[in-house]
Homo-oligomer: A and B are copies of this chain.
Amino acid sequence: MSTSEQKFIDLMKQITAYSEAIALIHWDLRTHAPKKGMDQRSETISLLSEKVTELQRSDLMKQLITELKTSNISPIIEKSVQECERIYNKQKNIPTEEVVEFIRLSSKSETAWQEAREKRDFSILAPYLEKLVEMNKKFAQYQGYTENLYDGLLNDFEPGLTTEILDRVFNQLKPVLIKLVKQINNANVTVDASLLQKPFPKQAQEAFSLAVLDKMGYDFDAGRLDETIHPFAIGINPNDVRVTTRYDENDFRTAVFGTIHEGGHALYEQNIDPDLHQTVLAKGASMGIHESQSLFWENFIGRSRSFWESHFKLFKEHAPDSFQSVDFDEFFKAINEVKPSMIRIEADELTYSLHIIIRYELEKELINGDLKVKDLPKAWNDKMEAYLGIRPENDLEGVLQDIHWAAGDIGYFPTYALGYMYAAQIFNAIEKDISMDQMIRLGDFEPIKAWLTEKIHRHGKMKQPLELIEEVTGEGLNPDYLIKYLTNKYTDIYQL
């Protein structure tokens, strides 16, 4: 191995080490940390984050990238160099003072967002959001985007993704979803989820959640399950990938489907090839691919009829007496209730993508078009009414519900909907090799986990998201599989 190669590996190890400390601090802050300790902790996060950035944009990094690009190196080093170069170029192009300004502004904006929510008054957030939109445009320009600035933002969250692709797939998806929602609203079948909303002690929910994680193949020697307020999965290192969940004692769905969802994320990072550990590739390929793994498990497996055929008995073993008389069919329908909601994070799998499409259309117009920040609330409400048939009564259940824009993240939302489309497409691909319905009905997830590991998980960031999808499924992003899946499932449940 050349000296440059060794130096580059050491540099990645250092970045990995700082990132590992940062990840542990984040996990701790959101699970265990006592509140008074948080102020000083955030200074520690800042320092460690600065160190990561320093290394990423260091002269040594630049030099090693230059040297290694023309050397004879292994595929792992080659891809690592590409990833480091991508980050280097991105950071190099943005003046440091503007990065600092952006962080400062985002922080203030988040505070304003909190206040705006309390007072249900979007105008408190608006001036910050205007500046954040302008800075985001500028950042895209620094990356060399001139015409379609929003493409620059998309590319940051999902390398290779463009408005051209999103317009195409969303234009296919949107009318189908709108039509299905309308049909369901007019259907004769009523689905009633209230039968699920009965007291279910936290400890019993936890025991069932742990049992399901275990069946999924989650490795408890390389992770753990904790309680939190806003659930997440976090890879502290690939042998320590933690899942968190929230227990609502009057609605077990929050914890159970939340745990399966986060468990899907965690399986991804637990099964990255050890050869990639301590490189910049030991992460999921992209936000969208990551989300495909969580949704694959949560919805395509976890909300399927066959899953509950194999797990209903286990569920009842953990559930209180009041659930013992619940009928299987009623239960299955209830966990798949479609009910247009004002709030994205409470949405069912059918309407969820419509929430995302609304945000996509709005943020694209903010960046590339003529939409003004001040006009956002009305534009939001109009789209909600047009697509979901409901209109928010105030901004709290409208444009103020998500923190993303207030935090400066524009171009992030689409990855959620991508996750759905990728997941459906992957499910279709896996069915060519494995009889999914049968395996899920048997509760035998080992072959499924092995397939996902072989085709997706082990590769980490070795492949770009769209390249990975093409390889795994034999075609590019195609919304038809999601359309087919949702149409079949809900036509059946609601007898459309």
A47-B13 Cα distance, complex, nearest whole Å: 9
CB of A78 within 8 Å of the partner chain:
no
Chain B residues whose C-beta falls within 8 Å of the C-beta of A20 in the assembled complex: 40-41, 44
Q: Is the CB of A34 within 8 A of B277?
A: no
Smallest Cβ distance from A277 to chain B, in angstroms? 7
A138-B48 Cα distance, complex, nearest whole Å: 36
Chain B residues whose C-beta falls within 8 Å of the C-beta of A18 in the assembled complex: 47
The interface stretch among A115-123, A220-228, A352-360, A421-429 is A220-228
Smallest Cβ distance from A30 to chain B, in angstroms? 13
Known: A25-B21, A28-B28, A34-B239. A278 touches B221 (CB 8 A): no
Q: Is the CB of A48 within 8 A of B34?
A: no
Q: Is the CB of B278 within 8 A of A37?
A: no
Of the residues B16, B28, B224, contact of A24 by C-beta under 8 Å? B28
Max chain B C-beta neighbours (<10 A), residue from A35, A220, A240, A277: A240
Of the residues B14, B28, B40, B239, contact of A40 by C-beta under 8 Å? B239
Chain B residues whose C-beta falls within 8 Å of the C-beta of A278 in the assembled complex: 40, 43
Q: Is the CB of B224 within 8 A of A36?
A: no
CB of A381 within 8 Å of the partner chain:
no
Q: Is the CB of B277 within 8 A of A40?
A: yes
Nearest neighbor of A278 in chain B, beta-carbon distance: B40
Nearest neighbor of A226 in chain B, beta-carbon distance: B32
CB of A236 within 8 Å of the partner chain:
yes
Chain B residues whose C-beta falls within 8 Å of the C-beta of A237 in the assembled complex: 37, 40-41
Chain B residues whose C-beta falls within 8 Å of the C-beta of A222 in the assembled complex: 34, 36-37
CB of A434 within 8 Å of the partner chain:
no
State the majority secondary structure of interface residues on A: helix
So how many copies of this chain end up in the complex? Answer: 2
CB of A33 within 8 Å of the partner chain:
yes
Number of chain A residues close to chain B: CB under 8 A: 36
Q: Is the CB of A240 within 8 A of B41?
A: yes
Smallest Cβ distance from A303 to chain B, in angstroms? 28
CB of A204 within 8 Å of the partner chain:
no
CB of A39 within 8 Å of the partner chain:
yes
Chain B residues whose C-beta falls within 8 Å of the C-beta of A219 in the assembled complex: 36
Known: A14-B47, A47-B14. A239 touches B36 (CB 8 A): yes
Of the residues B21, B43, B223, contact of A34 by C-beta under 8 Å? B223
Chain B residues whose C-beta falls within 8 Å of the C-beta of A277 in the assembled complex: 40
Q: Is the CB of B13 within 8 A of A240?
A: no
A20-B24 Cα distance, complex, nearest whole Å: 12
Nearest neighbor of A219 in chain B, beta-carbon distance: B36
Chain A 45-63 interface residues, beta-carbon cutoff 8 Å to B: 47-48
Chain B residues whose C-beta falls within 8 Å of the C-beta of A39 in the assembled complex: 239
13 additional A-B pairs beyond A14-B47, A21-B25, beta carbons within 8 Å, are: A13-B43, A16-B44, A20-B40, A21-B24, A21-B48, A28-B28, A34-B220, A36-B222, A36-B239, A37-B222, A37-B237, A40-B239, A41-B236
23 interchain pairs, CB-CB under 8 A: A16-B44, A17-B44, A17-B47, A17-B48, A18-B47, A20-B41, A20-B44, A21-B44, A24-B25, A32-B32, A33-B240, A34-B221, A34-B222, A34-B224, A34-B240, A36-B219, A37-B237, A37-B239, A37-B240, A40-B237, A40-B238, A40-B240, A41-B240
Q: Which 8 A-B pairs have the closest CB atoms?
A: A37-B240, A36-B239, A17-B47, A17-B44, A36-B222, A40-B237, A37-B239, A21-B21
